[in-house]
Amino acid sequence: MATLKMGTRGSPLALAQSAQAARSIESLHPGLSVETVVIKTSGDLFGAPPPEVAKTLPQGAKGLWVKEIEQALLDGAIDFAAHSAKDLPALLAPGLCISAYPEREDPRDAMVARDGLAWKGLKAGMKVATSSLRRQLMIAAAVPGVELLPLRGNVDTRLRKLKEGEFDAMIIAVAGLKRLGRGEVPCEPLDPSVMLPAPAQGSLALEIRADRKDVAKIVGSLDHPATRLCVEFERGFLAEIGGGCGAPVGAFAQAKPGGVFLECFFAAEGETAGRRVSGLCSEVSKKDEFVRTLAEKVKRA
């Protein structure tokens, strides 16, 4: 039986979503086995660096969560890697490419709250937990005076803290709950008009060495064209805005009859409020020019 080695981080979410990708590949290619190789990254070992350090890194802060995995690909220690696409830096290591974006899970953020509390019931003074600066800025804009708290730990730890009353609500990704098999947890998905998702949120990225045509043929069988279209618009904006250093960035693309509609959010370092821009790209072939124009627009807004 032929075997492909798949690299992934060792977090519960990383293992759950990579296992789904592995089983899908095996089902499409009978006789093929996918072996999971857990790789600890610099981000896992040392956490996120301060912004002044992140600016000096070739791939920004996001790169610390993929650097060792990408090196394993380049060295041939693994055949492909499974990432949360929203955790990928805008620029991949030279010689690598994304062979597949499997069909996207729900890209929205959601509020998980104490009994009886809905988004419309949030008021000044209530405690909302999230460690995402993007989410913090959007919450503060929607509900002035809310108290924002950091959110750490795995999903079970976070749910326990909520139950114990450390905060009134927390904001997490819908996709994370579903992929961890926690779809039963009561949550309120938030409309992107309120909480714009991070670029590529809810999608997986299967990365390979660009010269591995044999692997591309196998892994590429999971590629979902509609997901790739939207995710590449979102990641294109991320690249243009320079969002790899921890700056709060949101981007959500939707395929429409007249083209691709892209809404974006950005705040520069130190700003306490972000700005939104949006537009319809009627010619997909002009994606790069389109996202560059949006990035310039939001920086000037």
Question: Region 1-28: what's the mean pLDDT?
Answer: 94
Rounded to whole angstroms, the Cα distance separating 202 from 174 reads: 8
Q: How confident is the model at residue 82 (pLDDT cuts 50, 70, 90)?
A: very high
Residue 48, pLDDT above cutoff 80: no
How high does pLDDT run on average in the chain? 90
Rounded to whole angstroms, the Cα distance separating 104 from 113 reads: 25
Q: Please report the pLDDT score of residue 222 as a whole number.
A: 98
104 phi/psi in degrees, rounded to 5: -70, 140
Residue 7's closest CA among 33, 34, 32, 39?
A: 39
Question: Region 62-66: what's the mean pLDDT?
Answer: 69
- Domain limits of the chain? 2-105+199-300, 109-189
Residue 152, pLDDT above cutoff 90: no
* Token digits of residue 251: 């981007």
Q: Please report the pLDDT score of residue 57 as a whole number.
A: 47
Element (H, E) at 281: strand 275-281
CATH number of 2-105+199-300: 3.40.190.10
Catalytic residue positions?
87
The single-letter DSSP state of residue 199 is: T
pLDDT tens digits for range 190-210 = 999 999 999 999 999 999 999
| pTM of full prediction above 0.85 | yes
The single-letter DSSP state of residue 66 is: T
Higher pLDDT, 249 or 155: 249
Residue 246's closest CA among 61, 87, 49?
A: 61
Q: How confident is the model at residue 244 (pLDDT cuts 50, 70, 90)?
A: low
Q: Please report the pLDDT score of residue 58 as a whole number.
A: 47
* Domains 2-105+199-300 and 109-189 in one fold: yes
Q: Please report the pLDDT score of residue 243 as a whole number.
A: 59
288 phi/psi in degrees, rounded to 5: -60, -45
Taking the CA atoms of residue 192, residue 196, residue 197 and residue 198 in that order, the dihedral angle to the nearest 10 degrees is 160
CATH number of 109-189: 3.40.190.10
Question: Region 265-286: what's the mean pLDDT?
Answer: 92
Q: How confident is the model at residue 259 (pLDDT cuts 50, 70, 90)?
A: very high
Q: Please report the pLDDT score of residue 208 as a whole number.
A: 98
Q: Please report the pLDDT score of residue 63 as a whole number.
A: 60
Rounded to whole angstroms, the Cα distance separating 174 from 188 reads: 9
Residue 55, pLDDT above cutoff 80: no
Q: Which residue type is seen at 33?
A: S
Q: Crossing angle for the helix pair 287-300 and 225-241, nearest 10 degrees?
A: 40
